[in-house]
Amino acid sequence: MLAKIPIEGNIVEEYLIGNTRVYISDAYFINNTPEDNQRVLDAAARASLNIILHNQADPTYVDSDDDFSEEPIVIMTKRK
């Protein structure tokens, strides 16, 4: 099932992982400054580190916010 993705920008990549279709869009970064982009990357790095540290403290942890729906996953990125 393909859903319509209500975002602007361009789909720059598309992947199929199992039954999940993943679209990569540049919409989030179109009007960003380099500083804005760095803040996004820094926030992602902090979130990743927090997940790793939390899982080391409790290896049985499962995020209750995980959404395993069949909707497409959209990752916004800057076009190379």
Give the chain's end-to-end CA distance (angstroms, integer).
29
30-69 b/e (C-beta count within 10 Å ≥ 16 → b): eeeeeeeeeeeeeeeeeeeeeeeeeeeeeeeeeeeeeeee
- pLDDT for position 35: 93
- pLDDT for position 3: 63
Strand ordering across the sheet containing 73-76: 11-17, 20-25, 73-76
The pTM for the full model equals 0.47
- pLDDT for position 16: 92
Q: Which residues in the chain belong to E strands, given as ranges?
A: 11-17, 20-25, 73-76
pLDDT along the chain (80 residues), means of 10: 67 89 82 89 90 78 54 53
